[in-house]
Structure 1
Amino acid sequence: MIWLAAIIGYAINGPFGALIGFLIAWVLGFAVRSFVVRNNNHVTDLFLNSLFAMLAKIAKADGIITKEEIDAVTQFMNHVKLSSADKKTAINAFRSASVSKHSIYEYASQYSKLASGEMRGVVYAVLWDVAYSDGILHEKEDEILRRIPEYLGLNSGAYHQYKDRIHNQNDWNEDAIDKAYEILGCSKDSSIKEIKKSYKRAIAKHHPDKIHSQGLPKEFMDYANEQSKSINKAYDLIKKHRHDS
């Protein structure tokens, strides 16, 4: 299936990308070995179900699936060029898993029985991509990414390699930090106390209850919700940056 091979391209060119050395060795070997899931519709459905269920679980690890996480999953889905039927299967799997009581580790164990080692490595890269799509690696996301290589049958060292990349990214991600201070209406010179006050003011200004009490249309409420999310993310990013500095 073409979409399986396309995952390689995503891993190399995607927003986060996979480990370059690992992928070079993998791509060189691709031409001389089969890399296609067995031609069996049932197996393909199981493959897609477990794959997109894992993406749903990592997206909801911190309690809410954000627009950035949905965009990351959608971008992945579009890149691998699923057929209409496979896309429907993937979307249904994502939705079901987002409310399922099954753990991501159960889905990972199922996936590892159907996918090659290379495919499991790529999916681990995509999990990182989704988790870090909002620029913040939450504690629960970090825990999943640390534990899941065992269930995917991957070397535990993969976690540390990706985590190091995150830290390296923070060195050049100054634009995101500047934007976060701008959203809160403060600066890098502001004290922690001043930043906290700015955060509270910004949240109060865009709180949905305040919009509702003014009798404004639903569109204003939606805008307030989006602004509140942006403010919370900006505050989390600033706190993390101050803690790591």
Structure 2
Amino acid sequence: MKWRWPHFAGKAGGACIGFLLGGWIGFALGIILGHSFDYHREHLWARLPRLRFGSPFKIAQPAEQVYRHALFVCLGHIAKQDGRVSPQEIAAAEGIFKQLKLKPKARQEAIQLFNEGKMPNSQIEGRLTLFSQRYRSNKAKRLELLDHLLTISYAKGGPHPAQIARLKALLPILQLSLVELERLQRRRDQQQQRQQHKQYNRQGQATQEKAGLLAAYHELGLNSTASDEEIKLAYRRLMSQHHPDKLVAQGLTDRALEKATEKTQDIQQAYALLKKVRQL
């Protein structure tokens, strides 16, 4: 049975002390002061971390510490579900540590808890139960923890079936539903598809730029191993050969001059690209 401070303790103590010091007037003042003491004890002191009687005066963990301890242990536990913890999963965990802005000591503790979660006999249910109790009225925080665990499971490109199965088994402890897990998964899948699309576009753009660069070398009659001086000499030589102003005196037809103009523009564009890339 828990011992509780009586609600009237302040008033009783104040009345006794007041009577001893000032008679009945002191008695009345003592009750007033004692009532104020009881009020502030109930409404302000109760918000402070309370002592747990049982194991000698152990102070209850702050809620944020309970959250982080449960998170770090579960990150290691989920990462291990597919048999081994990959470098990608370790990098994902480091990303979460960075997101939480952990100080060096807290980061070291997080790593220890992560390694604890990897152990075959790790008991994560107790930490998760304590976390769910402390955040019973904060569903957003419980969803946040589950989303972090999905970060680990998606670290290698997609979740392993064993990892998803384990997350489903933990849903009752987290007081969350399968629908909520699937909604978070769909959001992850969509993010992954967008990232893959962006990567594909970047690769396509890089391929086009490479092809354009090779075409520029070809236009100047060179290859990619040409030196800067060879590129400048080739550009001046070709401009001298094909510039329309120098071909007019040769009595060329209008069609020939038009082709020479187009050739000159191609040479100039090729040289401009190489000049930009190689900073000539």
Task: Give the TM-score taking structure 1 as reference length.
Answer: 0.49
TM-score when normalising by structure 2: 0.44
- Higher relative contact order, structure no. (Cα contacts within 8 Å, ≥ 6 residues apart): 1
Give 1 or 2 for the bigger CA radius of gyration.
2
